[in-house]
Structure 1
Amino acid sequence: MPTFILLTKLSPSAMKDARTREQIGREWFETVKQKCPEVRWIDHFALLGQYDFMDIYEAPDEKTAIKVSMITMSKGAVKAESMPAIPYKQYLEVIKDI
């Protein structure tokens, strides 16, 4: 299954109360699991910088990745970008003939 990276920037109101942040995150995760059961989560990181969170996951196709991003936007994100990620060894195989 292809690997995707989800970068998320939350709205200021969603980040305002740290005590509710965990609950909002759980609700988001449960919604994604329900609507996209074929997604396999690899890892979840909090970030410092222009994005608040980064998730690494596997999905069967780009349509499912779009769905993950749209669910994320519906749960308080002002920006959610999903992008394909290619393992480095596969990348080297692709570029070796260039």
Structure 2
Amino acid sequence: MTKYVIISKLTDDGAKTLKKNPKRIKEVNQELKEMGVEVLEQFFILGKFDFLNIVEARDEAAISKAVVELASRGSIRTQTYTAIPVNEFSGYIQ
């Protein structure tokens, strides 16, 4: 399993949905799980983006499918990065 960092920003519609239904965050987490993406940690952040999520997925195909599904709803825009553990990374450069 590979870890990914997803940073996201709510659209206006997404903010309205979240205000009406704060439980939507947990509902989306469950939907992601059903798509093969496990949310490991989740933070609301202040600044340019609204959320930072650490997730795990079996491969790039699974994470790609999940973020496209989320984006297609029009409530959130994401940026996704592969997270390489430092111990693993240091082995790459030795």
Paired position in structure 2 for 1:20: 20
Paired position in structure 2 for 1:6: 6
Please say if residues 31 and 71 of structure 1, whose CA atoms lie closer than 8 Å, have aligned partners that are also in contact: no
Shift of the alpha carbon at 1:90?
1.0
Other structure's SS at 2:46 match: coil
Other structure's SS at 2:48 match: coil
TM-score by length of 1: 0.79
Q: State the identity %.
A: 24
Paired position in structure 2 for 1:91: 89
Aligned pair count reads 93
1:41 matched to 2:36: no
| Partner Cα distance (2:23, 2:33) in 1 | 15
Q: Deviations over 1:55-97 (max 9, x none)?
A: 11111110111122123222610x212211100111111112x
TM-score by length of 2: 0.82
Q: Deviations over 1:34-66 (max 9, x none)?
A: 3x1x32321001111111101111111101111
